[in-house]
Amino acid sequence: VISIPLSFFGGIGGASAKGILVKGSNYLEALSYTKYVVCDKTGTLTKGVFQVTEIHPEGGMSEADLLEKAALVESYSNHPISKSLKEAYGKEIDNNRVTDAKEISGHGVSAVVDGHEVAAGNVKLMKQMNIQAAVPTSVGTEIHVVVDGKYAGYILISDVVKPNAKEAISGLKAAGVEKVVMLTGDAKKVADAVGSELGVDEVRSELLPGDKVDEVEKLIAAKGEKVAFVGDGINDAPVLSRADIGIAMGALGSDAAIEAADIVLMDDDPAKIATAMKISKKTLRIVHQNIVF
């Protein structure tokens, strides 16, 4: 009988050697029976870092010029989108070139750059200014730029998918997971694009933190199977504690999420979830063999 706890100690030790912290043998056992994995998008499957992915100038403007105008007009804002524009521009911003900077709440910003009236913002801002904006073919957050009342083009900014997120999803399927569901507060179009790129079974978008708990509750009630939730943020803590198994990202994750989770991935690599499941199944196999012996 003493072989059983020793087998679990061995499994937990093996997992920690691979950077997976399991907070108890009951969680290691439950992991092998998990059929549904629910993932938060930002910070779990994506890096949570916004980067400029496309620049489309119009009306004779060059890409460099369009990016420079956008970075200068956004230079006073602390929004993540403004930061990504400044990073893509990559040069020192001379604040003397920018005057009369105004933030238009929920729409964008406007300023006078080198004596030209420049506005940068979303589609709502374009409608407000009665300007016909181009419709991007790719998916991302759109920043449209207007110079002296004329449309100058748009810049697309996207949250970058983690390089091994796709492998992580296929690894879960190989480990016996029936369904992988992605939850996010993002717009449907952006969420669906990420979901189809990664091969997720179901995408539920435009959710508030409270809605995530409801979605997990529904899955637990409907399926009667073990449900694991993977997240990294402060607002994920209630969901992590509600799911049968809460898995938190340890490097990027908030203290609240790490505290509420049953399993912590120390290096934020989503592919480690499938590794943890393999360790769990192997441990249980050894336990059963020992019982038979």
Active site residues: 40
- Angstrom distance (rounded) from CA 38 to CA 191: 14
- Angstrom distance (rounded) from CA 85 to CA 93: 11
